[in-house]
Amino acid sequence: MFSIDSYRLTGKRAIVCGSTQGIGRACALALANLGASVTLAARNESALKAVLAELPATAGQAHGFIVADFNDPQQVRERVAENIVTAGTAHILVNNSGGPPAGAILAANPADFLAAINRHLICNHLLAQAVIPGMKAAGYGRIINIISTSVREPIPGLGVSNTTRCAVASWAKTLSREVAPFGITVNNILPGATETGRIQDLINNKARSTGQTPEQVRAEMIGHIPAGRFAHPDETAAATAFLASPAASYITGVSLPVDGGRIACI
Task: Check if the beta carbon of residue 231 is closer than 8 Å to that of residue 191.
Answer: yes
pLDDT for 239 beyond 70? yes
Distance CA(256)–CA(263), nearest Å, equals 12
Q: List, in order of start, the domains of the chain with CATH numbers.
A: 8-192+232-256 (3.40.50.720), 194-230 (no CATH)
Distance CA(200)–CA(214), nearest Å, equals 9
pLDDT in tens, 66-115: 999 999 999 999 999 999 999 999 999 999 998 888 899 999 999 999 99
State the pairing for strand pair 64-67/92-95. Answer: unpaired
| Residue 110, number of CB atoms within 10 A of its CB | 7
Instruction: Give the residue-averaged pLDDT of 148-177.
Output: 96
Give me the chain's average pLDDT, please: 95
Instruction: Give the residue-averaged pLDDT of 217-242.
Output: 96
Distance CA(18)–CA(127), nearest Å, equals 13
Cα–Cα distances in Å, from 226 out to 193, 198, 220, 237, 246? Answer: 12, 21, 12, 20, 31
pLDDT for 37 beyond 70? yes
pLDDT of residue 266: 84
DSSP result, 81-123: HHHHHHH---SEEEE--PPPPPB-GGG--HHHHHHHHIIIIIH
Looking at per-residue pLDDT, the higher value among 30 and 201 belongs to 30
List of residues 6+ apart from 240 with CB closer than 8 A: 27, 30, 31, 94, 144, 146, 189
pLDDT of residue 99: 82
| Residue 44, number of CB atoms within 10 A of its CB | 13
Question: How far is residue 129 CA from its own chain's centroid?
Answer: 17
pLDDT for 1 beyond 70? no
Catalogue the long-range contacts made by 220-229 (C-beta closer than 8 Å, 24 or more residues apart): 221/193, 222/193, 224/262, 225/192, 225/193, 225/259, 225/260, 225/261, 225/262, 226/260, 226/261, 226/262, 227/260, 227/261, 228/260, 229/260
pLDDT of residue 84: 97
Query: Cα torsion for 164, 165, 168, 172, to the nearest 10°?
Result: -170
State the pairing for strand pair 255-258/184-191. Answer: parallel
Confidence of residue 43 (pLDDT cuts 50, 70, 90): very high
C-alpha torsion sign, points 73, 256, 252, 4: positive
pLDDT for 197 beyond 80? yes
pLDDT of residue 123: 98
3-state secondary structure of 169: helix
Give percent above pLDDT 70 in the chain.
Answer: 99
